[in-house]
Structure 1
Amino acid sequence: MFEFLRSYIIYLALLSGIVGLFSLPKLPGNKAKFLVLLIWFSIVTEIVGYYFTQWTGLLNFYVYNFYMFASFSAYILLLRALLNKINHRVCAAIFLVLFIVSFFLNLLFFKEDLNRSFTYSFAIGVLLVLILSCLYLIEIFNSEKILNFKKSVFFWYIFGILVFHVPFTPFMLAINWFLIKQDESIFSLVLFILNFLAHSCFIIGFIWSEKKYNY
């Protein structure tokens, strides 16, 4: 019933990507502009993923596993750049190494069948990003930034990726661990709702943020 919703996800990404482009004047540094780049990277991934099977005859797990690796690495690097305390930044660097190692272990473990989603690496990536996001929020709440944190595009972007990934992870693990049959209609509905919430956060961040808080 809801299978068609999955094809509309790209329009949500396009909307937030276009809003991001129009918001570039108040995204002064490379860190802020990097957020727009990440959104457009997801758009390209959705397009390539949609046509990948048609072009190559292979399932598109290759595309989405690569996207998962690249995006989580980017999230960790972004959070490292946003963290101020040295020990938190060191922790982020260690987490990046852990995630990369987990991905390649996943790759080696399932080398006989690469045509599958790397669920374990995804879950590890979400956990690491969640921990770093908590450290980021703790730093904000213990500084003067608490007064204007809602005017920072970074807060809304981090909130957006958490809104998507944290609820989606148990859903994916339930399918993988408990061998629940994946209903494409429910899967598409969940994916659309979480993407809608995430891109809404991105758009709010681009519109509501102020240039002086986006450094």
Structure 2
Amino acid sequence: MNLLGWIKYLELVTAIAGIIFYRKYSNSNLKYFVYMLWFIVLVEFAIGTLKQYTEARLQNNYIYNVLTSLQYAYYFFLYYSIITIPRYRQWVLTFLVMFVVAVVVNFLWIQKLSVTAAFASYTFTLGAILLMMTIALFLVEILNTEKILYFKNYLMFWISIGLFVFYTGIIPFVLSINLLPDFLSNDALAIMFFTLNLVMYSCFTLGFIISRPQVEGLKQ
């Protein structure tokens, strides 16, 4: 198994941690975050099984294009439900609409969605940029609340740090798909991609373990 093949096990460990500490968030919007993690795990292991026992490799990009688009949409909804400042919420809603429109346009006319399609790098990059802006709005908001005093026990803080580090680091990787295709065979890229996933899922797992539900103040 190559290094990238281990990423699905990072996802599995995090999903298991989410289930172990699920009772902390079973009455909040973050319960859907746990559901999303398990959905990703099921998809990843299903793809791994297909690659091992069939020749269905051409379907990978198709699945990932749909999966990553759904992930972005979920993240925008999540932050929209967490952020309380009306102006910031309006920005997040605008980001969501922009992203959905971009996905539709990209899938229909630019990087067309099909079983043999290439990775949808354009909408992935746009989603990453908009998500980082959304996370920045969230962090600015908590700087002005009591939650900043207990940030270590705030699950959304750890989710945000993990996502911000991953998507900040992944943008050069995605751009290289179009700009430096020959560079993709470099083992350094596999190491970087694995490391970014390791950092992100470690943040999620740590958040599940040390966070306290009374700090969340989430909308039900």
What is the TM-score with the length of structure 2 in the denominator?
Answer: 0.89
> Would you say 1:199 and 2:201 are equivalent positions?
yes
> Would you say 1:93 and 2:93 are equivalent positions?
yes
Q: CA RMSD in A?
A: 1.9
Conserved 8 A contact 2:62-2:113: no
Residues 130-145 of structure 1 aligned to structure 2 (within 5 Å): 130-145=132-147
Distance 1:209 1:112 in 2: 39
Unaligned runs of 5+ in 2: none
SS of 1:31's equivalent in the other structure is coil
Distance 1:167 1:31 in 2: 27
Conserved 8 A contact 1:19-1:203: yes
Conserved 8 A contact 1:79-1:132: yes
Conserved 8 A contact 1:73-1:96: yes
Conserved 8 A contact 1:45-1:64: no
1:46 aligned to 44, 47, 60, which one?
Answer: 44
Distance 1:111 1:65 in 2: 10
Change (3 A) 1:57 1:151: closer
| 1:184 to partner: Cα distance | 5.8
1:51-75 Cα offsets, whole Å, 9 max, x none, are 4552746331011001111000001
Aligned partner of 1:9 in structure 2 is 7
Conserved 8 A contact 2:79-2:92: yes
Distance 1:84 1:49 in 2: 38
Residues 17-166 of structure 1 aligned to structure 2 (within 5 Å): 17-52=15-50, 54=54, 56=56, 58-107=58-107, 108-111=109-112, 115-166=117-168
Distance 2:138 2:206 in 1: 19
Conserved 8 A contact 1:123-1:169: yes
Conserved 8 A contact 2:132-2:167: no
Distance 2:186 2:143 in 1: 41
Distance 2:190 2:45 in 1: 16
| More RCO (CA 8 Å, sep 6+) | 1
Distance 2:213 2:62 in 1: 38
Distance 2:155 2:174 in 1: 28
Equivalent AA in structure 1 for residue 82 of structure 2 = L
Conserved 8 A contact 2:99-2:123: yes
Distance 1:194 1:89 in 2: 28
Conserved 8 A contact 2:111-2:117: no
Identity %: 30
| 1:13 to partner: Cα distance | 0.7
Unaligned runs of 5+ in 1: none
> Would you say 1:181 and 2:186 are equivalent positions?
no
Aligned length: 213
SS of 2:59's equivalent in the other structure is coil
1:68-107 Cα offsets, whole Å, 9 max, x none, are 1100000111111111111111111111110011111111
